[in-house]
Amino acid sequence: MNEINPSRRSGGRAARHALRAAPLAEDRRPVRAGLSGGQYAPLTEAGVARIHQAALDALEQIGLADAPESGVEILTGAGAVLGDDGRIRFPRALVEDMLAVAARDITLCGRDPKNDLLLSGTRVHYGTAGAAVHVVDVEKREYRDSTVQDLFDAARIADRLDNIHFFQRAMVCRDITDNFEMDLNTIYACCRGTTKHVGTSFTDPDFVDRCFDLIHMIAGGEEAWRARPFISNSNCFVVPPMKFATESCRVMEKCIRHGMPVLLLSAGQAGATAPAPIAGAIVQAVAECLAGVVYVNAMAPGFPAIFGTWPFVSDLRTGAMSGGSGEQALLTAGCAQMHRFYGLPGGAAAGIADAKLPDMQAGWEQATSNVMAGLSGLNMIYEAAGMHASLLGFCMESLILGDDLIGQSLRCVRGIEVTEDSVSLDVMRRVCLDGPGHYLGHEQTLGLMQTEYIYPSLGDRTSPKEWVEQGRPDLLQKATARKHAILVEPSCAAFPTDLDTAIRARFPIRLPA
């Protein structure tokens, strides 16, 4: 029985502070990577079935154009049909056969095994992405070109944030004009900044093999890399509507041969390069990604690939992208439901702000889509933190604040556990009939403080009086201070000195040692 000790009231505050300061085992934390979502379903069962059939119709009747010669050989060898118009069409039976052999449960490895991500069922993970071309300078309230140092700094910050589970390249290194050197330095900067799983892209298929020389060095050899591939290829293998991206397909083929997991990314824009209806945009994205499933599994049955239905929204008044809209949140949630229907590991975009700065507009835009994506059970939620101006700008302070925002999102994903203990009738009886009439000092309250509740690191929950006494702290100023505090410390993911020296002797690394 839980007894109430009135004398504990005076020490309750100190006890609560002590509990909050004590580290918890990973499985005791209130939120963590891989919580299961799936509570939210914007599509009816009939709607899911209709989208599936429409996607199969599109593949069979319309098909995709512009496959590379190698892709034509791979796809037709598996049973796809090359038409006189140059388009490859996919019989229903072929798609179904490839879905049957496609990888279901896959693990995206981190350089540190503690950061491994199991993509299974409705397990949810949040991280970055984007390829923004600008950095949002909060202190100067301006945008500037992003650099390799910025990318490295973002990776270092992400490495320290509990609720950012992976780091996909968030910015383009615009200070490096040679595309091969940019690809190479992107990999170096990301991996030197974090031991979490990294996502990257390649600008040319001819660069892939040379970049893998660097990757093998970081991994400790090709065998070690293939045993634990800690980088995935974010691959825009299609150019919507319904065309293959020829060079990206060649990149994808090379990545598969090198054992690198791939994100099959279809990024149409509703009303522009995808149908304007939300359902129609999902149909096209599903069709294009199903073509990718056939492509990958025709090459290597069961190869780890993420079903990356990633349609965006247009503001139909202007044609501009509207990543922070409610329609975008619905699109992403609907795509997550299709991933669940196929039982495939899925990824899509959420957390994008159209707002130029991390302000109230950014807050509602980022929170709405992140919560809905998590509740939908999306395995990989890309662009979940840091992205502004409809993917044009990346903000370090927003990345840091996003850790708090995603923590609250994950708490929603976790939901409410109903057990005999949590129903609390025995506790209610003793508090109300025999006790002080409140639960503040009760051992149940103290025992659940850290496991049932999550607390923001930077978010302010003080009273107005306390806020004044503390000097009226500003949220953005606190985020900037934490950014500087992280960046003055050495990277926890830094390579051993001898390895870093060997890498710099072999490759044109632009990041200062």
pLDDT per position as a tens digit, 240-258 = 999 999 999 999 999 999 9
**The model's pTM:** 0.94
Single-letter residue type at 27: D
- What average pLDDT score do residues 351-376 get? 97
Dihedral-angle region of residue 99 (phi above 0 means left; psi in -120 to 50 means alpha; beta otherwise):
alpha
Candidates 313, 222, 302, 305; CA nearest to 265 is 305
The highest-level CATH class for domain 99-414 is alpha beta
pLDDT at 420: 87
CA nearest to 239, candidates 231, 247, 250: 247
Which residue ranges make up each domain of the chain?
Answer: 99-414
392 C-beta neighbours (distance < 10 Å), count: 17
| Residues 460-499: tens digit of each pLDDT | 999 999 999 999 999 999 999 999 999 999 999 999 999 9
- Give the pLDDT confidence score for residue 16 in this predicted structure: 56
Q: What are phi and psi of 323, to 5 degrees?
A: -70, -15
* Axis crossing angle, helix 326-342 with helix 360-375, rounded to the nearest 10: 20
What confidence tens digit (pLDDT) does each residue in 272-287 have? Answer: 999 999 999 999 999 9
Question: In sequence order, what DSSP letters do the residues of 99-132 get, joined into one string?
Answer: HHHS--SEEEPPSSGGG-EEE-TTEEEEB----B
Please state the rounded mean pLDDT for residues 190-215.
98
Q: Which backbone phi and psi does 272 adopt, to 5 degrees? A: -125, -75
Kindly report, residue by residue over 6-16, the tens digit of the pLDDT: 334 444 566 65
Between 67-81, 90-104, 281-295, 311-325, the lowest mean confidence (pLDDT) is in 311-325
Q: Is the pLDDT of residue 99 over 80?
A: yes
Query: How many C-beta atoms surround the C-beta of residue 283 within 10 A?
Result: 24
The kind and range of the H/E element at 380 are strand 380-382
Judging by beta carbons within 10 Å of its beta carbon (0-12, 13-18, 19+), is residue 142 exposed, middle or buried?
exposed
* pLDDT at position 273: 96
Question: What is the 8-class DSSP label of residue 166?
Answer: E
pLDDT at 2 over 80: no
pLDDT band at 21 (very low <50, low <70, confident <90, very high): low
> What is the average pLDDT across 177-188?
98
What is the pLDDT of the chain when averaged over all its residues? 94
Q: Judge contact between 116 and 205, C-beta under 8 A.
A: no
